[in-house]
Structure 1
Amino acid sequence: MEAIHPKAAKGLRQQRLPLRVMNTFEPDHSGTLITADYVSEKPSVEIIAGRQNVYALEFFDQDMMGNMSRYGRELLGIIERFKVPLISKDNNANTLTHYLAANLKTIKRIQSAIQALFPNCEMSLKKVSIVSAIGSDMKVPGILASTVNALAEANISVLAIQQSMRQVDIQFIVSDDDYDLAVQSLHCSLIEVHNHGEAICAA
């Protein structure tokens, strides 16, 4: 995603066009070929990626129980009105957390709009980072335990975890101050332990 805009990447996926990413400083290297039908030879984590400076806006309301669809629509409507990118979200019976990429002033305006619509709700705001372990096939027994253990050994507290049934990524929400160490720890434990040859170089 650092090499190509998400909208352009979407078009490539839809047309099933391969993308080769090259390094300007290594013109003789074959680069990385990204194709729609690629699946790793064996289940594994292949990439560690993430994003800093994300605001986690947690919304809590006891009346949400049984009305999740309505609350979800209303909150997303407010976020879209302010044209703020929604990176991810999670929920339980009475809590919705949206992970947003915007400046603090805009986030505060979103909070005010939500409070006006739901005066009895409670909200909290925290600056976090999202770090992801990604692979084309991560159906490995114990993969979640391995990733959490790697962060625990680095004394990083996991604030939230998300893993879908597709098993192609695991997202970890951590304190923004822990971003660099989280990326390094996951890369060391999940990528560098495999023999990738020249593709992976330990720092």
Structure 2
Amino acid sequence: MTVTIDVDPDDEAITRLRNGYKPAPGESVIEQVPLGDGEYWVPRRFDLISTGSSTTPGWRMAVVVRHGIPLCQRITIESSEQEVRSVDLRALRVEEMLELATRYVAVPVERDASGRVRARPLALADVRAGVTLPAVRAARRRARSRITPSILSEVADVYRQHDGRSPTRAVQQHFGLVSERTARFWVKRSRDAGFLGKSLPGKGGEQQP
């Protein structure tokens, strides 16, 4: 089994390259965003890919970073040798794989006198030793324990955009939440905070003032 990381390039940068733009030495075509408190930056979107083996299926995990938090947005699993079984699904350690992938793509940054963010070199040996792991785990703890007002506001926006079309599931998919039950809790928190109106009796949705 081989595990690799695939990073999505910045769409705007790709367009510029196709139009003849030549990047400066060291310039990245990957859209980078802060991880957690901003000590490290990571690609906004990347995939973790396992090729599988003759006895285990392969899988692909899509990761998106929102509000500084890396979230598993989607997992696909397939096997060319045998059927995918329940035991294969139970073997997927989502949080562990997410941490593994993020620690390898995290880049330490510093700001120069003008305020521009610049990446600092980081040896692969340091990555393997786990120097980026505390920052990754700190960011992931925010996903489990801290739902900020800005997130609750975004929950309301996503819910309204999909009102009448499985809005709770849309919230789950948008934020990469593990279950629809968690998404319902986030929607409730958004209502309690006043970002989303009260639900219609027995129907969900949102009461209009």
TM bucket normalised to smaller: under 0.3
**TM-score, length basis structure 1:** 0.26
Q: Relative contact order: is structure 1 or structure 2 higher (C-alpha 8 Å, sep ≥ 6)? A: 1
